């Protein structure tokens, strides 16, 4: 006689997974392959997810680190995280056909950075050093016009350039709570600092963090499906842990740790903005092999945003 499976109630966050910027970036690569034929080159990972990158590679995408690796007769796509101005300038100088898959919400931050510099302000950019989005945003303005603020301590100790007004902008995939604390410090220390027009942290990041908080509050543990280099996915883990719920980032069902789930009766599951739904379903299916699973979707917001494709691909 077989032993009955232990019960496990799974709370699935909504919204979760792909955002409009990721959908658009993937579609740009797919449409470019349709239009130009394979191979189509992509500078850096189009989005931070190995499953997505491998799927596009199988269709004919070739991922490279630098433009020098792109043959002169093949098109190149820039990733959703954005690139410094020097990159498209270099591509144009080499005569390359290029397509920019930068998320429109990241591009909005780029344009704000240009406007603040044009207004004579020094920008404090709240973000994580080395992240492609930060590198791309710093590359929109002349060197020395922007300073990176990663922590509350840095916000407290920053010394403003003499005679320069200040502005702040933020990476789009940050923790909403962390960022608001840093902003409070900057606004207290520099009362005249110019704020961005509208929220820089993107709607998808905010919505996924809000949903993660709700499921974490009701769960004994939370799995976040996403890549270890995905900023928005890492922030979802932090959001759950701050509520006192243990949380872990996994990329696929193969990384499920059943010992870690010992004693857990309610499990929250969500996915970062670059993780496809198929990975979440794979996790639930694997759990169902070991547990008597019941599912409940917990929706905290509706998303119906879509971004247009570049004109060259709109009818491809």
pLDDT (mean) for 291-302:
98
Model pTM? 0.94
Q: How far is CA 36 from the centre of its chain?
A: 28
What was the pLDDT predicted at 197? 83
Mean pLDDT, the chain, as a whole number?
96
Task: Answer yes or no: are the C-beta atoms of 286 and 253 closer than 8 Å.
Answer: yes
In CATH, the architecture of 105-189 is 3-Layer(aba) Sandwich (3.40)
Residues 1-23 pLDDT 10s: 678 999 999 999 999 999 999 99
**Strand residue runs (E) in 145-265:** 146-149, 165-170, 221-225, 246-250
Q: What is the dihedral of CA 184, 242, 284, 22, to 10 degrees?
A: 20
Residues 180-214 pLDDT 10s: 999 999 999 999 999 998 777 899 999 999 999 99
The pLDDT-based confidence of 255 (bands split at 50, 70, 90) is: very high
pLDDT at 25 over 70: yes
Task: Answer yes or no: are the C-beta atoms of 32 and 98 closer than 8 Å.
Answer: no
Rounded (10°) angle between helices 231-242 and 203-217: 30
pLDDT at 316 over 50: no
The pLDDT-based confidence of 100 (bands split at 50, 70, 90) is: very high
Q: How far is CA 195 from the centre of its chain?
A: 22
The pLDDT-based confidence of 311 (bands split at 50, 70, 90) is: confident
Residues 29-46 pLDDT 10s: 999 999 999 999 999 999
Class of domain 20-103: alpha beta
Stated as kind and residue range, the H or E segment containing 132 is helix 132-138
Which tokens belong to 114? 């240009």
What was the pLDDT predicted at 1? 60
Q: Which of 45, 69, 114, 133 is catalytic?
A: 133
Class of domain 7-18+203-299: alpha beta
Task: Sketch the domain layout of the chain as residue ranges.
Answer: 7-18+203-299, 20-103, 105-189
Which tokens belong to 254? 């193969």
Residues 106-161 pLDDT 10s: 999 999 999 999 999 999 999 999 999 999 999 999 999 999 999 999 999 999 99
Task: Answer yes or no: are the C-beta atoms of 291 and 34 closer than 8 Å.
Answer: no
Residue 218 vs residues 197, 205, 264, 292, 296: alpha-carbon distances, Å? 35, 21, 11, 19, 12
> Does 7-18+203-299 match 105-189 in CATH topology?
yes
For tokens 């998320």, name the residue: 103
Task: Answer yes or no: are the C-beta atoms of 261 and 219 closer than 8 Å.
Answer: no
Residues 43-57 pLDDT 10s: 999 999 999 999 999
For tokens 């930068």, name the residue: 102
Q: For this structure, is 133 an active site residue?
A: yes
What was the pLDDT predicted at 315? 57
Which tokens belong to 95? 């005569």
The answer for residues whose C-beta is within 8 angstroms of residue 38's C-beta and 6 or more apart is 59, 60, 61
């Amino acid at each position: 006689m077989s032993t009955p499976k232990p019960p496990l109630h799974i709370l699935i966050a909504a919204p979760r997974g792909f955002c409009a910027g990721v959908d658009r970036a993937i579609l740009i690569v797919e449409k470019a392959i349709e239009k130009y034929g394979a191979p189509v080159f992509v500078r850096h990972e189009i989005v931070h997810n190995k499953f997505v990158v491998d799927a596009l590679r199988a269709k004919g995408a070739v991922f490279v680190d630098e433009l020098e690796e792109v043959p002169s007769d093949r098109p190149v796509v820039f990733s959703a995280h954005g690139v410094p101005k020097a990159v498209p300038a270099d591509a144009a100088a080499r005569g390359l056909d290029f397509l920019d898959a930068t998320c429109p919400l990241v591009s909005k931050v780029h344009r704000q950075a240009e406007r603040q510099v044009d207004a004579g302000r020094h920008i404090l950019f709240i973000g994580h050093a080395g992240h492609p989005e930060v590198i791309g945003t710093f590359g929109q303005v002349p060197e020395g016009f922007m300073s990176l603020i990663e922590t509350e301590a840095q916000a407290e100790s920053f010394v403003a350039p003499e005679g320069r007004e200040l502005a702040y902008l933020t990476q789009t995939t940050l923790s909403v709570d962390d960022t608001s604390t840093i902003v409070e410090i900057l606004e207290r220390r520099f009362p005249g600092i110019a704020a961005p027009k509208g929220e820089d942290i993107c709607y998808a990041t905010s919505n996924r963090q809000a949903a993660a908080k709700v499921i974490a509050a009701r769960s004994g543990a939370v799995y976040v499906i996403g890549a270890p280099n995905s900023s928005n996915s890492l922030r979802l883990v932090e959001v759950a842990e701050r509520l006192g719920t243990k949380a872990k980032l996994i990329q696929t069902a193969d990384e499920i740790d059943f010992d870690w789930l010992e004693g857990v009766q309610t499990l929250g599951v969500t996915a970062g903005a670059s993780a496809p739904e198929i990975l979440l379903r794979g996790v639930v299916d694997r759990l169902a092999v070991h547990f008597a699973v019941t599912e409940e979707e917990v929706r905290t917001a509706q998303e119906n945003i879509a971004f247009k494709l570049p004109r060259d691909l709109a009818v491809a």
